[in-house]
Amino acid sequence: MGKWELVQVSLIIFFLFLVYFRALMNLRLKEREADRILEEAEEQKEAKKREAILEAREEIQRLRTEAEREIRERRADLQRSERRISQREENIERRQAALERRERQTQQKEQEANRLHEEASRLVEAQRQELERVAQLPAEEARQIILRRVEEECQLDAARLVKAIEAEAIEEAEQRARKVITLAIQKCAVDQTAETTVSVVTLPNDDMKGRIIGREGRNIRAFETLTGVDLIIDDTPEAVVISAFDVVRREIARIALENLVLDGRIHPARIEEMVQKARAQVEQEIKMAGERAILDTGLSGVDPELIKILGRLRYRTSYGQNVLKHSMEVAYLAAAMASELGLDPLLAKRAGLFHDLGKAVDFETDGPHATIGADLARKHGEPREVVQAIAAHHADVDQDSAYAVLVQAADAISAARPGARREGLETYVKRLETLEQLGDSFDGVEKTFAVQAGREIRVMVKPDRVTDEGAAKLARDIVKRIESELEYPGQIKVTVIRETRMVEYAK
């Protein structure tokens, strides 16, 4: 084989190698393409799977919402039906009781008629026998006997007539009193009360919840410690709930949180500043509420300090009824009844407006709120009739004027109207107040807050008087006191908080 043939063979081999290498490269490229297609198919499969899961979850949530709405509607229909049935049963029972009462009265009247008929027969027979006996007596003696008998019968008839007149007067007085009260109620139409123990603050977005909580929860802890409320952050979109039985605390917390959300700077120092501003704003609103109540009722010459105390009733409830609204309603009712009876309506209105004044400070002073309110009114120069009506509106003292009776009646009317009060709330609030008072009674405690609807109390202690070991002992002592002295459902968590702050200023 010559050199040229070797070159040709080499070139052929080289070209064959190039063809093989190119085929191999194409095969590699096709394998990579196949792997990429498989990966894309797998990703599309996962995406479709996630979409299907999300759609299924949305459908489940929608079905759950519809089911809950249907359950609520059916429950409401059932409650309405139960109320209608209950009302019908009560009407039937009342009618049955009235029929039974009428039947008993008819039987009594029949028995009385029979008795009177028998008594009349006996009297006729006795009179006949007496006449036969008198016929044998001297004329003067017979005349005396007959006169005595006539006198006795006249006295008996007079007594019966007096009794009938008294009964008629009592009935007429009751009818007139009912008429006066009815006219007073017609003149005073107010809304029904619905006080709650939570406030809802709307957020611009759900990211704000994380800023409110803060790093490791420091912001929410600072907020709850400064305000004494419970801040509930759950899955509710763009909203947080403030829970506290004390309306003043809840209002301060609501205003402070809304200002923090608007400001955007949320940290413990800023929280403390906003809480102080909110507390000052609420104090101003208390003063304005008192002045507005005085203006709406048309009173004058009221001591400014008494107006501030009256304004505090805006944040006080009794069985779920706002005490300031209740006091204004009592003032209107008392004035309306006083006008019907020819008394001074302004004096009655004054006594009605101030009758629950003691409830604004009864947690600071021992004694019934009627006595506390009377002392406050006397101290600030209110008339004697007003002071006496305040002291006597719960019969703690004797009522020596018509105004005291009117205030007591107006108070009962305002509290008894449908929807005005809820029986369980007062007991609930008293239990929370008792919990806080129990915590405050221990040495070294600065302030106690009842939160979580009374399921937890947070005890703030003075760090210079209570050590860390003492805080643990204090928590155990409070638990023992609660277990031995109070009655409560479930369990109560006691949290003792001891905090020391060191603050310096660079000038």
CA distance 247 to 229: 10
CA distance 312 to 490: 33
Q: Which residue has the tokens 């007096």?
A: 162
Helix (H) or strand (E) run with residue 342 in it? none
CA distance 273 to 296: 35
Phi, psi of 258 (to 5 degrees): -65, -40
pLDDT in tens, 258-317: 888 888 888 888 889 999 999 898 888 888 988 888 888 888 888 888 888 888 888 777
Neighbours of 190 (CB within 10 A): 14
Residues 465 and 429 sit within 8 Å (Cβ to Cβ): no
Sequence-ordered list of residues with C-beta below 8 angstroms from that of 181, at least 6 positions apart, any chain: 337, 409, 413
Residue 237, pLDDT score: 82
Q: Which residue has the tokens 């200002």?
A: 259
Domain boundaries, the chain: 137-181, 198-288, 317-421, 425-497
Q: Which residue has the tokens 């009506």?
A: 389
Report the sign of the C-alpha dihedral through residues 198, 203, 205, 210, in that order. Answer: negative
Token pair of 61, please? 């949530």
Residues 454 and 424 sit within 8 Å (Cβ to Cβ): no
Q: Which residue has the tokens 């929807």?
A: 419
Residues 211 and 268 sit within 8 Å (Cβ to Cβ): no
CA distance 424 to 422: 6
Q: Specify the pairing of strand 317-318 against strand 239-243.
A: unpaired
Neighbours of 445 (CB within 10 A): 19
Q: What is the dihedral of CA 252, 253, 257, 258, to 10 degrees?
A: -50
pTM of the model: 0.46
Q: Specify the pairing of strand 456-461 against strand 230-232.
A: unpaired
Token pair of 381, please? 């120069």
CA distance 127 to 129: 5
Residues 423 and 442 sit within 8 Å (Cβ to Cβ): no
CA distance 390 to 394: 8
What's the longest Cα–Cα distance across the chain? Answer: 199
CA distance 422 to 193: 9
Best CATH choice for the domain 317-421 from the list 3.40.50.280, 1.10.3210.10, 3.40.50.1100, 2.60.40.10: 1.10.3210.10
Q: Specify the pairing of strand 239-243 against strand 230-232.
A: antiparallel
Percent of the chain with pLDDT over 90: 5
**Class of 425-497 per CATH?**
alpha beta
Neighbours of 187 (CB within 10 A): 14
Amino acid present at 53: I
Sequence-ordered list of residues with C-beta below 8 angstroms from that of 378, at least 6 positions apart, any chain: 387
Print pLDDT tens along the chain (507 aa): 567 788 788 888 888 888 888 888 888 888 888 888 888 888 888 888 888 888 888 888 989 889 888 998 988 888 888 888 888 888 888 888 888 888 888 888 788 878 877 887 777 677 667 666 655 656 566 667 767 776 766 666 666 666 666 666 666 656 666 555 555 555 554 444 444 556 788 888 888 888 888 888 888 888 888 888 888 888 778 888 888 777 778 888 888 988 888 888 888 888 899 999 998 988 888 889 888 888 888 888 888 888 888 888 887 777 667 888 888 888 888 888 888 888 888 998 898 898 888 888 766 677 788 888 889 889 988 888 888 988 888 877 888 888 888 888 888 877 755 444 444 456 667 888 888 999 999 989 999 998 876 778 999 999 888 888 888 889 999 999 988 888 765 578 899 998 877 778 786
- Third-level CATH fold of 198-288: Ribosomal Protein S8; Chain: A, domain 1 (3.30.1370)
CA distance 454 to 450: 6
